[in-house]
């Protein structure tokens, strides 16, 4: 929010400097972002007169000018290349040492083509205050010589910009800022003319409200206006705050938006159809705004329509079709009160950013609809003439009156300051709070209509779908009983000065420091370390992927399509990180980065399905290993990614002995070279294998591409238990190898499970080390090489004991699977 010091004086009688005003604004929470004083920025420039201009002897396009610029610069020679430099012209002169903002240079004395030049004659563009560039600026013949240009052009008016928090819609009007400053004692708030203008009975239009987001709307016709450029005082005020003057009628509405925070709109009456303006729902039509952009409206958008079409997007922007221009004679002025939420939603969806939207969505003065219309009427008649008609309106001013009570003791308990009750009451009354009742302990105030943020109604809680009715009632009662008083304490503290409020440490809840990460975060960090230690490089991908890629990796339901994607090829929520990893691997391989970890990637991130979101650890391996002496480069295998998945599960507390592998991996894996890791018959914890050849080809890859996924959220959290030292045996383990002849239906996992259960006290581990299929075996059979590790605890094993365990292993495997020892 910008305002000039002279504009502030229209509402506040004060003598403080711009720096003092900024200091006070910061103290009361209206944070100053910048202070721009053109008089300081343009301090070196002065008015001057070209006494004589002659052609440069050595350059046809240059002129040698003799300039008078006041004391110290009575007769200065300046070489100038402007085509309009001539004898007798009053100009802007920059003496040596002056910084030129438009050129980012500092003027120095020098010679140009052999002629001395002791300064510069400037254009407005070079001063940074205009777009003129066809020559130097031409001042009036009556311009004095030697005066500071900023003073001559009345630019010695500092402009202050403040940051506005979303709750302070009243501070988006200069009168609201003046009210806050007056309450601090910096000045006296001037009276504002709210009296209605004298008007006739002319009322060619009526209002109709068909949208719940409009509470009140008013308007009136003004006939016989003459629209043209605004007077200089109005232009300068708008330009000072960054608003481009357009015409008197439009400038009036922009002026009042900044002056009192009241958005308004002016229609050209001759361009409207029918005798009714309706505030209603849009019907999906296309609307062309005053910015000449076309907007496709939705049925929830609120518009103002006449008998033919939409003429305004309510609270946001007027329509080009009914906009005023130099031919406008009769106008209809609109002032309304719209719902902040509806304005914000429509503005966000259509990407419309206007001063009207900024004010409506932060909350405008609920009692200013009629006074704002009268102010606009008064100013239009003053600048454009015309005859006003009767005010027509629909709806009614909302019941904004509400009360808030302040217990004086809360200033100390909540705010940490010791202020008297009189100080608190005077501060709140200065802000417009009307004192209704006071006793020794508390005071009750009526909240003014412009402070929508104080003691706000709790209507929004009624729309919370995530709360049941009982919970809503509790929250509403809590807010109504606590928030209004807290708001009043905040207002008193603001005027006391936020810098004067000493910081207070919050009470310490526990002597024991809380953990900095949750158990879920800790296990995710552990998984990242495990994968990095296994040679995989971490990547971070979007949760959005191309629909075509999502189809490669299973279903891509419509429920997971994005209505407004950040890019056309990122329109589907992903079902697995392998989509991102596959594309990343393809880019690496295409660039020749296929070794030293570039062909082994992993990601830990979210995936989505119809049931919601879950966390998945995924990895992919491709390319070839690095070459080494005596070792050929190798492609990754299924066993590499199985080991990755098993290592991740082991880190999460799932030992290999409790897991089983089934050959039913999803369709994007190779049907014969993949599997799923389960705990029990139903719970799937991970999957691994080669990617399906169709998927590999679609991703632009080749060779052996293997991958794994660990469903992190499916892995149960380990139960907390006291750690004990591991039971290490002082005796050496004994290893025995077995070769089982297994039929076509026998799974290796079943053989390992049966062998492990043959003798639990002695068998420490069972591993598959070989799979052989050949002509020496019966058709469809294969040989499974199994290593069994025996670990004695109290005494070394004898040959008899080892033989007994070996027979037990063979018997257990044959009984469970039908596999027999090879002879």
Calpha distance 277→392 (Å, rounded)? 11
Calpha distance 660→296 (Å, rounded)? 57
The span from the first CA to the last CA of the chain, in angstroms, equals: 92
Which residue in the block uniquely carries the two structure tokens 């098993």? 646
Token pair for 183: 């309450």
Q: Are 239 and 251 in contact (CB under 8 A)?
A: no
DSSP secondary structure code for residue 42 in this structure: T
Which residue in the block uniquely carries the two structure tokens 């802000």? 431
Calpha distance 100→45 (Å, rounded)? 9
DSSP secondary structure code for residue 171 in this structure: G
- Helices assigned H by DSSP within 388-461: 410-413, 421-430
Q: Which residues of 539-555 are buried (b: 16+ CB within 10 A; e: fewer)?
A: bebeebbbbebbebbee
| 789 bridge partner residues | 735, 765
Give the contacts of 347 (CB within 8 A, at least 6 positions apart).
316, 353, 354, 357, 361
Give the contacts of 488 (CB within 8 A, at least 6 positions apart).
404, 405, 406, 428, 433, 445, 454
Q: Are 695 and 666 in contact (CB under 8 A)?
A: no
Calpha distance 711→401 (Å, rounded)? 56
- Helices assigned H by DSSP within 16-172: 18-27, 38-41, 124-127, 149-152
Count H helices and E strands in the chain, helices first.
Answer: 21, 42
Calpha distance 606→584 (Å, rounded)? 17
Per-residue CA distances from 64 to 57, 85, 434, 524 (Å):
9, 9, 69, 76
Give the contacts of 660 (CB within 8 A, at least 6 positions apart).
677, 678, 679, 749, 753
Q: Are 511 and 41 in contact (CB under 8 A)?
A: no
- Cβ-based neighbour number of residue 677 at 10 Å: 26
Residue 490 is assigned to a ligand binding site: yes
Residue 491 is assigned to a ligand binding site: yes
Which residue in the block uniquely carries the two structure tokens 């009692």? 367
Q: DSSP readout, 119-150? A: SEE--HHHHTS----SSS--B-TTPPSS-BHH
Give the contacts of 818 (CB within 8 A, at least 6 positions apart).
742, 743, 746
Q: Are 432 and 446 in contact (CB under 8 A)?
A: no
Q: Are 110 and 59 in contact (CB under 8 A)?
A: no
CA atoms within 13 A on the CB side of 711: 16
- Largest Cα–Cα separation, the chain: 126
Token pair for 439: 């006793």
| 65 bridge partner residues | 53, 78
Calpha distance 473→163 (Å, rounded)? 35
Q: Which residues fall in the annotated binding site?
A: 453, 487, 490-491
**Positions at the binding site for Mg(2+):** 453, 487, 490-491
């Amino acid at each position: 929010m910008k305002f000039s010091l002279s504009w502030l004086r229209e509402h506040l009688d004060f003598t403080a400097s711009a720096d003092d005003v900024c200091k006070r604004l910061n103290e009361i929470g209206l944070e100053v972002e910048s202070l721009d004083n053109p008089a300081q920025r343009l301090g070196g420039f002065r008015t001057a007169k070209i006494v004589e201009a002659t052609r440069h002897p050595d350059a046809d396009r240059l002129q040698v000018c003799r300039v008078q610029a006041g004391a110290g610069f009575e007769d200065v020679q300046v070489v100038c290349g402007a085509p309009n430099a001539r004898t007798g012209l009053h100009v802007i002169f920059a003496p040596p040492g002056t910084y030129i903002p438009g050129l980012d240079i500092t003027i120095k004395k020098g010679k140009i083509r052999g002629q001395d030049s002791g300064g510069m004659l400037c254009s407005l563009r070079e001063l940074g205050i205009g777009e003129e560039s066809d020559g130097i600026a031409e001042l009036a013949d009556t311009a004095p010589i030697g005066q500071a240009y900023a003073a001559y052009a009345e630019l010695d008016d500092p402009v202050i910009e403040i940051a506005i928090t979303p709750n302070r819609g009243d501070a988006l009007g200069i009168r609201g800022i003046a009210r806050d400053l007056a309450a601090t004692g910096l000045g006296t708030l001037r009276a504002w003319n709210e009296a209605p203008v004298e008007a006739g009975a002319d009322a060619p239009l009526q209002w109709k409200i068909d949208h719940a987001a409009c509470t009140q709307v008013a308007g009136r016709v003004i006939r016989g206006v003459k629209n043209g450029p605004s007077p200089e005082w109005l232009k300068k005020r708008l330009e000072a705050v960054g608003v481009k003057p357009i015409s008197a009628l439009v400038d009036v509405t922009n002026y009042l938006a900044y002056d009192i925070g009241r958005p308004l709109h002016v229609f050209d009456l001759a361009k409207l159809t029918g005798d009714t303006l309706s505030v209603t729902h849009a019907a999906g039509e296309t609307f062309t705004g005053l910015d000449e952009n076309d907007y496709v409206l939705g049925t929830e958008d609120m518009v103002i329509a006449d008998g033919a079409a939409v003429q305004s997007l309510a609270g946001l922007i007027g329509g080009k079709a009914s906009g005023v221009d130099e031919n406008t004679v009769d106008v209809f002025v609109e002032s309304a009160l719209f719902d902040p939420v509806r304005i914000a939603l429509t503005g966000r969806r259509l990407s419309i950013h206007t001063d009207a939207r900024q004010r409506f969505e932060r909350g405008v003065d609920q009692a200013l609809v009629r006074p704002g219309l009268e102010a606009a009427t008064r100013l239009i008649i003053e600048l454009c003439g015309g005859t006003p008609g009767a005010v027509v309106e629909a709806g009614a001013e909302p019941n904004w009156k509400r009360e808030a009570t302040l217990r004086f003791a809360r200033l100390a308990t909540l705010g940490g300051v010791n202020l008297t009750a009189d100080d608190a009451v005077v501060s709140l009354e200065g802000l417009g709070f009307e004192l209704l009742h006071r006793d020794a302990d508390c005071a009750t105030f009526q909240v003014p209509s412009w402070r929508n943020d104080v003691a706000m109604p709790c209507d929004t809680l009624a729309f919370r779908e995530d709360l049941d009715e009982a919970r809503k009632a509790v929250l509403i009662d809590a807010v109504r009983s606590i928030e209004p008083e807290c708001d009043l304490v905040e207002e008193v503290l603001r005027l006391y000065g936020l810098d004067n409020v000493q910081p207070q440490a919050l009470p310490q809840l526990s002597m024991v420091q809380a953990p900095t990460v949750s158990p879920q975060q800790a296990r995710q960090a552990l998984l990242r370390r495990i994968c990095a230690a296994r040679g995989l490089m971490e990547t971070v991908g979007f949760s959005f992927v191309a629909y075509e890629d999502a189809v490669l990796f299973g279903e891509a339901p419509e429920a997971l399509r994005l209505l407004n994607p950040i890019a056309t090829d990122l329109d589907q929520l992903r079902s697995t990180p392998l989509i991102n990893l596959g594309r990343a691997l393809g880019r690496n391989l295409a660039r020749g980065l296929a070794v030293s970890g570039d062909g082994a990637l992993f990601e830990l991130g979210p995936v989505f399905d119809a049931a919601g979101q879950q966390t998945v650890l995924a990895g992919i391996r491709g390319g070839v290993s690095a070459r080494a002496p005596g070792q050929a480069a190798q492609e990754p295998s299924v066993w590499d990614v199985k080991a990755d998945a098993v290592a991740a599960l082991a880190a999460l507390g799932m030992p290999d002995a409790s897991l089983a592998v089934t050959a039913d991996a999803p369709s994007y894996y190779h049907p014969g070279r993949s599997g799923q890791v389960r705990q029990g018959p139903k719970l799937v914890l991970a999957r691994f294998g080669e990617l399906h050849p169709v998927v590999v080809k679609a991703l632009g890859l080749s060779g052996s591409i293997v991958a794994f996924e660990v469903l992190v959220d499916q892995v149960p959290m380990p139960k907390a238990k006291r750690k004990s030292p591991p039971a290490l045996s002082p005796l050496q383990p004994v290893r025995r190898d077995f070769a089982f002849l297994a039929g076509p239906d026998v799974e290796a996992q079943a053989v390992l499970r049966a062998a492990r259960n043959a003798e639990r006290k002695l068998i420490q581990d069972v591993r598959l080390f070989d799979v052989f299929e050949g002509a020496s075996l019966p058709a469809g059979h294969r040989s499974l090489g199994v290593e069994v590790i025996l670990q004695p605890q109290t005494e070394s094993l004898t040959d008899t004991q080892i033989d007994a365990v070996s027979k037990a292993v063979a018997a257990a495997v044959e009984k469970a699977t039908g596999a027999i020892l090879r002879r």
